[in-house]
Amino acid sequence: MNLNRIDFTDMRPFEPEELPAAYDELLADATFCRVATSVFPDIPLEHIAHTMRGCHTCMEFQAAFCKPFLKGLVARCANGLSGDFSAVNPTPERQNFTYISNHRDIVLDSGLLDLLLIEQNLSTVEIAIGDNLLIYPWIKTLVRINRSFIVTRSGGIHDILHASQRLSAYIHHTSAVKQTPIWIAQREGRSKDSSDETQESLLKMFVISGTGTNRERLKDINLTPLAISYEYDPCDYLKAQEFQLKRDIPGWHKSQADDLINMRTGIFGWKGHIHYQAAPCINEFLDTLPDDMPKPDFFATVARHIDNAIYRGYRLYPANYIALDLLKESRQTKQPADKGQAHYSPAEREAFDTYLEGQIAKVQLKKPDVPFLRHKLLEMYANPALHQLSLKGQE
């Protein structure tokens, strides 16, 4: 597939010459203007428009608007943000990594990654975003200004196949030709119970494009596992609520209104501390795999390697250990002596219990199944600890 002959115009981020028209489109949208003035309440809309029109590239727009917004958000809604990229050591000369991460928050997973990269004077990532989230035209325009590329998730089988071919070609083009870093989640949609597993179908999509063996095609895009750890997930009660709705209502699916509530809650809810941990690029690992490895085994092995790299990279907080212990106690299993309690105090355990009660109280169901909801919340916080501790036990 000749990457230079494929038209990515309708899916890629805007080019500099396309930005003036994109700005005009946004500023003509009344809803966008209301959102903009609510996000920056101390800045008149005329000044916002003037600053936008002075941004000649997507990265200039991000520096002018996204960086201050995200820094302010971390100051108000989190207890610190940290990142460790020493395993890959990105530099201005080499930063075309494809970061593949667990997925917790619809908007902030990639947004806060960008903030960390901006503060290291590195290029921001191009962000894979599903078209199901582009609820209004102005959102699609805004995300493309914010260096996002569109992943098609709707249509028939042939539409999806064609979209996968274009997506694969675009990722290879972005890494090899544009030399730009990419962020993509390890699976479609967020992992509601924090049991993070890489979809093998995603890896198969990556190798549709490129040349050579599947190993060589994966190496071309420099896959780099990235673990994202939020101390608290503001959407945890919404995810627990979804579990009950799916249990009680056959065929239940989230609405667009639900997506908006999740996005707003994730952005503005309390997150505690947030940490990003990059693992080494998997290229060296790929070189250790046998040349004659059957395809199903190859993709399964690579997926598990990415999973384990993410598990190792989790930053565990007291809530993770407390939730794990509470689950063990609820199952009446014998708890290893001080396995979790060494990582938290009685006061922290009591505070987490109070937190759980407060989150369950936010659930808006006619008949909330409180034991079920509590169990799902505990799973969300326990699974990162369970994965990491199990992995260390195997090693």
pLDDT level of residue 151 (50, 70, 90 thresholds): very high
Mean pLDDT within 115-129 = 95
**What are the Cα distances from residue 318, in Å, to 125, 226, 232, 233, 381?**
31, 21, 11, 14, 10
pLDDT at 244 over 50: yes
CA dihedral 269, 275, 279, 281 (to 10 degrees): 60
Specify whether the backbone of 121 is left (phi greater than 0), alpha (psi in -120 to 50) or beta.
left
DSSP annotation of 13 reads: P
pLDDT at 311: 98
Is residue 224 within 8 Å of 99, Cβ to Cβ? Answer: yes
The 10s digit of each residue's pLDDT in 54-77 is 999 999 999 999 999 999 999 999
State the average pLDDT over residues 180-207. Answer: 94
**Structure token digits, residue 346:** 């009685």
C-alpha torsion 145→147→151→152, nearest 10? 20
Q: Which two tokens stand for residue 101?
A: 């991460």
Residues 6+ apart with CB under 8 A from 216: 210
DSSP H helical segments within 236-345, as ranges? 236-248, 256-268, 283-287, 295-313, 318-330
Tens-place pLDDT, residues 208-232? 999 999 999 999 999 999 999 999 9
C-alpha span between 276 and 227 (Å, rounded): 6
To the nearest 10°, report the CA torsion of 120, 122, 123, 126. Answer: -60
pLDDT of residue 332: 64
State the virtual CA torsion across 274, 278, 279, 283 in degrees, nearest 10: 150
Residues 142, 26 contacting (CB under 8 angstroms): yes
Q: What is the CA radius of gyration of the chain?
A: 22
Residue 2's pLDDT is 56
- Write the DSSP symbol of residue 367: S
Q: Where are the domains of the chain?
A: 3-234+269-313, 318-394
The CB-side HSE value for 200 (13 A sphere, CA atoms) comes to 10
Cα separation, 290 vs 128, in Å, equals 31
- Going by CATH, does the domain composed of 3-234+269-313 fall within 3.40.1130? yes
Check whether 12 has a pLDDT greater than 80: yes
pTM of the model: 0.94
Instruction: List, as one string, the DSSP characters of 151-211.
Output: EP--S-HHHHHHHHHHHHHHHHHHHHTS---EEEESSSS--TTS-----HHHHHHHTTSSS
The per-residue pLDDT for 281 is: 98
Amino acid 4: pLDDT: 57
What is the distance, to the nearest Å, from the Cα of residue 368 to the centroid of all Cα atoms in its chain?
29
295-341 per-position pLDDT tens digit: 999 999 999 999 999 999 999 999 999 999 999 988 765 554 445 57
> Which 3 state secondary structure label does DSSP give 148?
strand
Residue 340: predicted pLDDT: 56
pLDDT at residue number 366:
94
